[in-house]
């Protein structure tokens, strides 16, 4: 079964809590607090699995939760850090925010990606000892790990897409020019999922070709099987439009080309504008027949497409097809990699209901909220980039506007869970 679109829930591990502990040792007069810090929660990490080409693994497991950090212990013992949870995905998987549909990450030829960050461990009571508070009987809890609903959408990484009506010979062509072994039979919709094949060309100009299951008229509306796989043509730089030039099923090749291109345009105008090579298959069946191809050739020439007659059965002109395809690809831009549509600051703001309160005490404005408490676990006040990230989150989440509405002005003090800074718009 081929699965290329699925939603999952992911949650990073919570940070462990700090410990409240005091050193007690026989014959030692001075003890003192020695509570250890909690461990960091595990991250949710996506990595590319080169051997996979389907999201079938997510069909029956859609919830992924990373390990929580361990609690701190006495004797300044640090809690165990939670283990990161790695989720393998096929190359070409696009990760989208389930609520907005915007792209978070395109998993194409990239390093492992941290989708959700684990919570920070809480401080043990030893951090809160001061000359005037020598016996702190409290510690901090760890912050919560990030969580979100995401949609995984697979768009295969293929340079070339073989498109056309069912039974025109796409699978046969792929089997002849590559090591792929798609199912081939004399009935419609033999291919039920896209097949990938690596095509070798002299001079190291090899490329990846994808056999897209047969499109039919109305595919963009969900008819046939093609509508499920149109997304896999999205990245293809070049389309090999295969037609049955012998008309063995009574269809007109010109009519076939027009109908398929209409479906491509309805799905995406950008996709319909991709360069095409018209591959007239079943040339062996033309020999000795009275079929007139002059109108077909005039039609192809009028649209500026390259035309090549081949026979997947006998192998005639398949080498020419491979070299022509490689020559065309050399002139085209590289595979499309989609840019993220959600930045780190926006991703840090929890979806749905979140409560933020702003109150003023004397000359200080206090901002509170559970999501802000968790956010503080990701901010390092000593790091400039971390502070810039924190500032962007406050701006995007509307906290800056809330402070202004309460009368906060430049130079006033803002306190967010003991982190104080001067307000500057």
**CATH number of domain containing 374:** 3.30.300.350
Residues 15/142, Cβ–Cβ less than 8 Å: yes
Residues 12/43, Cβ–Cβ less than 8 Å: yes
- How far separated are the first and last CA of the chain, in Å rounded? 55
Q: What pLDDT is stored for residue 402 in this prediction?
A: 92
In total, how many domains does the chain have?
A: 3
Does residue 341 fall inside a structural domain? no
Does residue 322 fall inside a structural domain? yes
Domain boundaries, position 406: 352-422
Say how many C-beta atoms besides its own lie within 10 A of residue 17's C-beta: 23
Residues 208/202, Cβ–Cβ less than 8 Å: no
Q: Does one domain contain both 5 and 21? A: yes
Residues 44/66, Cβ–Cβ less than 8 Å: yes
CA distance 229 to 312: 23
Does residue 337 fall inside a structural domain? no
CA distance 73 to 125: 10
Q: Does one domain contain both 362 and 217? A: no
CA distance 226 to 217: 10
CA distance 121 to 221: 51
Report which of 173, 377, 355 is spatially closest to residue 282, judged by C-alpha positions. Answer: 173
Q: Does one domain contain both 253 and 149? A: no
Q: Does one domain contain both 311 and 366? A: no
Say how many C-beta atoms besides its own lie within 10 A of residue 184's C-beta: 15
Report which of 151, 171, 175 is spatially closest to residue 162, judged by C-alpha positions. Answer: 171
Q: What pLDDT is stored for residue 116 in this prediction?
A: 92
Q: Does one domain contain both 130 and 192? A: no
Q: Does one domain contain both 102 and 194? A: no
Angle (deg, nearest 10), helices 318-330 and 170-177: 80
Does residue 335 fall inside a structural domain? no
Query: DSSP label at 116?
Result: E
Report which of 329, 323, 400 is spatially closest to residue 358, judged by C-alpha positions. Answer: 400
Does residue 402 fall inside a structural domain? yes
Positions of the chain with pLDDT under 50: 1, 183-185, 187-192, 219-226
Residues 292/245, Cβ–Cβ less than 8 Å: no
Report which of 174, 161, 318 is spatially closest to residue 240, judged by C-alpha positions. Answer: 161
Query: DSSP label at 43?
Result: P
Return the SS3 of 126: helix
- Domain final residue pick, 330, 361, 392: 330
CA distance 76 to 69: 16
Q: Does one domain contain both 170 and 42? A: no
pTM for the complete prediction?
Answer: 0.75
Residues 139/125, Cβ–Cβ less than 8 Å: yes
Does residue 346 fall inside a structural domain? no
Report which of 193, 185, 95 is spatially closest to residue 149, judged by C-alpha positions. Answer: 95
């Amino acid at each position: 079964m081929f699965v290329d679109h699925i939603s999952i829930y992911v949650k990073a591990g919570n940070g462990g809590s700090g410990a409240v502990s005091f050193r007690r040792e026989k014959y030692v007069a001075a003890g003192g607090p020695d509570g250890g810090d909690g461990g960091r929660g595990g991250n949710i990490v996506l990595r590319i699995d080169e051997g996979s080409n389907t999201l079938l693994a997510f069909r029956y497991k859609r919830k992924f939760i990373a390990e929580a950090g361990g609690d701190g212990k006495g004797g300044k013992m640090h809690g165990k850090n939670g283990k990161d949870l790695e989720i393998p995905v096929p190359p070409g998987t696009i990760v989208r925010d389930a609520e907005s549909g915007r792209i978070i990450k395109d998993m194409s030829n990239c390093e492992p990606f941290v989708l959700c960050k684990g919570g920070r461990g809480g401080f043990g009571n030893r951090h809160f000892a001061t000359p005037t508070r020598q016996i702190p009987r409290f510690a901090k809890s760890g912050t919560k790990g990030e969580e979100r609903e995401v949609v995984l959408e697979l768009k295969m990484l293929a340079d070339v897409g073989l498109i056309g009506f069912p039974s025109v010979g796409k699978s046969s062509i792929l089997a002849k020019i590559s090591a792929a072994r798609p199912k081939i039979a004399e009935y419609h919709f033999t291919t039920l999922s896209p097949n990938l094949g690596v095509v070798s060309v002299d001079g190291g100009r090899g490329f990846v070709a994808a056999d897209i299951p047969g499109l039919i008229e109305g595919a963009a509306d969900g008819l046939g099987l093609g509508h499920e796989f149109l997304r896999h043509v999205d990245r293809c730089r070049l389309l090999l439009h295969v037609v049955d030039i012998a008309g063995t099923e009574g269809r007109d090749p010109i009519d076939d080309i027009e109908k398929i291109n209409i479906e491509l345009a309805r799905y995406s105008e950008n996709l319909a504008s991709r360069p095409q090579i018209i591959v007239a298959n079943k040339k062996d069946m033309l020999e000795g027949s009275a079929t007139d191809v002059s109108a077909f050739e005039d039609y192809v020439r009028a649209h500026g497409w390259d035309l090549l007659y081949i026979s997947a059965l006998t192998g005639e002109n398949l080498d020419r097809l491979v070299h022509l395809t490689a020559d065309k690809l050399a002139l085209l831009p590289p595979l499309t990699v989609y840019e993220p549509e959600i930045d780190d600051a926006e991703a840090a703001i929890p979806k749905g209901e979140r409560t933020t309160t702003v109150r003023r005490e004397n000359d200080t404005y206090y901002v509170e909220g559970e999501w802000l408490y968790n956010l503080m676990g990701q901010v390092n006040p000593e790091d400039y980039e971390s502070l810039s990230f924190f500032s962007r989150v406050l701006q995007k989440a509307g906290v800056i506007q809330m402070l202004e509405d309460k009368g906060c002005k430049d130079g006033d003090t803002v306190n967010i869970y003991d982190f104080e800074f001067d307000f500057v718009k």
